[in-house]
Structure formats: structure tokens, C-alpha cells
A and B are shown apart, each in its own frame.
Chain A
Amino acid sequence: SQQGEEDPQALSIQEGENATMNCSYKTSINNLQWYRQNSGRGLVHLILIRSNEREKHSGRLRVTLDTSKKSSSLLITASRAADTASYFCATSQETSGSRLTFGEGTQLTVNP
């Protein structure tokens, strides 16, 4: 079964607005990663946050991790139409090395 659950399942915003996606998980993790997937294409790694980190930034991306609540959020600021994609969180559990467990994903649509 999937460890990660994401909400919302779908998000539609206007260009220039911020988009926030949330991910919850059930077991202890070593790290949590976010990936983007354009329709019918491969996944692109966005950011990795380790269990001892609380916040990480990369360009317009900001990821937070709250291990006490077993949750993470991905914030995309000043969104662009090119950000339209599916976004997946993926957890690497402490006992499973690089075996990633993906969430169900959030479909983000950024309208021009």
C-alpha cells in the first residue's frame, strides 16, 4: 500500500499565484523527496529533505518537513504555466534504503 497521501488531489491556480501541496506518511523515514511528472513523461527529482531537516529551498520551491506530524508540504511560488504537472512525494524509510514509496500525487494546473 502507498505510504504517502497527498492533498489536494488536484489544484488549479492562475499564473503568478503560489501553489501548496501537502503529503502525509505513516512510518519513520530517512528522507522525503518531491518529484514532478509532466504528462506521460518520466519523473524529475525536485528536492530531497532529510528527517533531521525542517525546511529546504531550491529556487521557487520551498519544502517543509514535520516529522512529529509525519507530514511535508511543497510550496511553489510565483507559479508559471510551465509548472503544470503532477507532483509526487516519495518517502525513503529508515529500513528500506533507496526503495521509494510514492504518494498518490497532486495534479497542478497553472492557467496563463
Chain B
Amino acid sequence: DTEVTQTPKHLVMGMTNKKSLKCEQHMGHRAMYWYKQKAKKPPELMFVYSYEKLSINESVPSRFSPECPNSSLLNLHLHALQPEDSALYLCASSQDLWYREQYFGPGTRLTVT
């Protein structure tokens, strides 16, 4: 199984809402990533988890809060977002942190109203 799944596919939330994005993989990968992608732009790295520990935070605002409950799951908790946070949020995983190809999920299309 080489699939990374993400839920929900689409999410519309107000600026005062709290919501969560979920990501799951069953490939036994030990590194997981969150990316943000705006239209017609490349993905921008947000967070990296390695062996369930936060390894990289690319200076992401605290209104985005990642969580890795176990080696298969990755969550992104959202609170008090701004309209400019509207984007495609992609989850990815790789075997480990060292120079590996990454497997991406289909993404969650987030709209902040």
C-alpha cells in the first residue's frame, strides 16, 4: 500500500473556528510532512516529523499546530486562521529523513472565510 490519505478533501471555515486536518499512511514510513501550496506555486514546507517527534518547524504561525499521535497519523490543528491561509494543504511521508522520495496525499483544499 503506497497511499497517503487525507481528510477532509475540502474544508470551509470561519476565522473563529477550530478545525483539524488528518493524514494517514500505512507504509511504515517514519518521517511525515505538512506542506502548504497556493495556486500555481510550488509546495512550501511547514512541518516535519521524524519518529513522531517534531523535527522542523519552518517558522509557521502558531495558529497552525501539528500533532503526530503515532507513526501512522499526522494532524494539523487550525485555529483563528486568516483568509490568506486559504490553500491546498498537502501531507507527505518518506521512509526516513535521509534523502528519500516523498509520497504525497491528495491534499485538503482549505478556504477561510
B100 touches A44 (CB 8 A): no
Q: Are A102 and B42 in contact (CB under 8 A)?
A: yes
- Tally of contacts, chain A with chain B, CB under 8 A: 57
Q: With the chains together, A103 CA to B48 CA distance in Å?
A: 19
B101 touches A45 (CB 8 A): yes
How close is A51's CB to chain B, nearest CB, in angstroms? Answer: 10
**Size of the chain A interface, CB-CB below 8 angstroms:** 23
A49 to B100, CA, bound (A): 11
Instruction: Answer whether residue B66 sits at the interface, using C-beta atoms and an 8 A cutoff.
Output: no
B64 within 8 A of A: no
Nearest residue, chain B, Cβ from A105: B42
A14 to B107, CA, bound (A): 30
Most A CB contacts (10 A, CB to CB) among B40, B45, B101 go to: B101
Taking a contact as CB atoms under 8 Å apart, the answer to whether A31 and B105 are in contact is no
- The total of chain B residues at the interface (CB under 8 A) is 27
Q: Are A99 and B45 in contact (CB under 8 A)?
A: yes
B56 at interface (Cβ–Cβ under 8 A)?
A: yes
Q: Which residues of B contact A42 (CB under 8 A)?
A: 4, 6, 90, 104-107
Given contacts A102-B42, A102-B43, A104-B42, contact A30 B99 (CB under 8 A): yes
Q: Please list the 3 inter-chain residue pairs (A to B) with the smallest Cβ-Cβ separation, ordered nearest first.
A: A102-B42, A42-B104, A43-B104
Return 28 A-B CB contacts under 8 Å, by A number. A33-B101, A35-B104, A40-B88, A41-B106, A42-B4, A42-B6, A42-B107, A44-B104, A45-B102, A88-B42, A88-B43, A92-B99, A97-B97, A97-B98, A97-B99, A98-B48, A98-B94, A98-B97, A98-B99, A99-B45, A99-B48, A99-B56, A100-B45, A103-B42, A104-B41, A105-B40, A105-B41, A105-B42
